[in-house]
Amino acid sequence: MSDTPPGGAAAGAEAIAAAPAAAEGGGGGAAASWRDGLPEALRADASLANFNDVGALAEGYLETKRTATARIPDFNSEAGLKAFADAVRPADAAGYDIPVPEGQPTMLADAFRAFAHERGMPPGWAKETAEFFNTQTAGLIAAETAASQADVDKFKNEIGATKFGAKLEAAGKMLPQLGVTLSDKDMDKLDEKLGSANLLKFMFAVHDRIGDPEPIEGGGDGDRPNLAMTPAQAKETWDQKRADPAWRKAAQVPGSPEAKEYERLSGLITAGRASAQKK
């Protein structure tokens, strides 16, 4: 059996309106209710029993709407935003769960936690915002790392893997002997400024100009005895060594200490002349 009164929705509405009049008109049997014209599911709802007629129902609806509207802050005003913030933020900044990528400092997360509390962000919004930026940052870092590696690989292929490896090892030994200590963060900053391949080219060129960092007699000074000698010092040492017949003979033996020293002194002197010509 259908819950809709004969004649459709219009007839149902008329029945609801006529119900109070029928109730007032008296007659035999139980008094009719304005709810009798409603679908069965609505007639059975106990909350409607509090309303004696359709007018009371309308008044209740309007009052409920006014109350609900009054509780919604005006987000276009400072007072409304403050009311919302006071309602949703935790008691203090420590109540925010801000994820930090593994191995990263917490300073930025701590600052964002304080900012979120000051602005009255709901904890869920703050966490999701941090996760979004963590994901975006990780993607940018991965892309930069890939581009840096591609730059290095291209340079490595240009000069050959064997030569690249030898120069990289020599340059790594050279810096400490020159009194330069670079942390991973320092290298990252240089990499950002110069580019990966340019940084390596620079280090290789420096090594080519000053030679191996192994101490040579006459090199450096009293405070830094392991510092590579200048081209002028190399020329002075070269002249002294050449005056020794035994040294000249030993320098002709491939791989001997004297031969390595001969190669280094020659390289320093040549580099010095090349630099002077450019000036």
User: Are residues 100 and 41 located together in one domain of the fold?
Assistant: no
pLDDT (tens digit, 9 = 90+) per residue, 159-176? Answer: 888 888 887 777 777 766
**pTM (whole model) above 0.85:** no
Parent domain of 260: 182-278
CB 106 within 8 A of CB 100: yes
User: Are residues 19 and 54 located together in one domain of the fold?
Assistant: yes
The pLDDT, as a whole number, for residue 218 is: 44
The pLDDT, as a whole number, for residue 217 is: 44
Question: How would residue 128 be classed by pLDDT, with cut points 50, 70 and 90?
Answer: very high
CA dist., res. 269 & res. 61, Å (int): 98
User: Are residues 186 and 274 located together in one domain of the fold?
Assistant: yes
Q: Mean pLDDT score of the chain, rounded to an integer?
A: 74
CA dist., res. 99 & res. 131, Å (int): 7
User: Are residues 24 and 100 located together in one domain of the fold?
Assistant: no
pLDDT (tens digit, 9 = 90+) per residue, 229-279? Answer: 677 777 888 888 888 888 888 888 888 888 888 887 887 777 777 666 655
Which of left, alpha, beta for 255 (phi over 0: left; psi -120 to 50: alpha)? left
Task: Burial-class residue 149 by CB neighbours within 10 Å (0-12, 13-18, 19+).
Answer: exposed
User: Are residues 66 and 83 located together in one domain of the fold?
Assistant: no
User: Are residues 100 and 60 located together in one domain of the fold?
Assistant: no
Question: How would residue 139 be classed by pLDDT, with cut points 50, 70 and 90?
Answer: very high
User: Are residues 193 and 230 located together in one domain of the fold?
Assistant: yes
Instruction: Give a yes or no: residue 153 inside a domain.
Output: no
| Max avg pLDDT among 65-79, 212-226, 236-250 | 236-250
Instruction: Give a yes or no: residue 134 inside a domain.
Output: yes
Query: Domain tally for the chain?
Result: 3
User: Are residues 61 and 109 located together in one domain of the fold?
Assistant: no
User: Are residues 216 and 196 located together in one domain of the fold?
Assistant: yes
User: Are residues 138 and 86 located together in one domain of the fold?
Assistant: yes
- From 71, 103, 120, give the residue that closes a domain: 71
* Angle CA 44–50–54, to nearest 5: 85
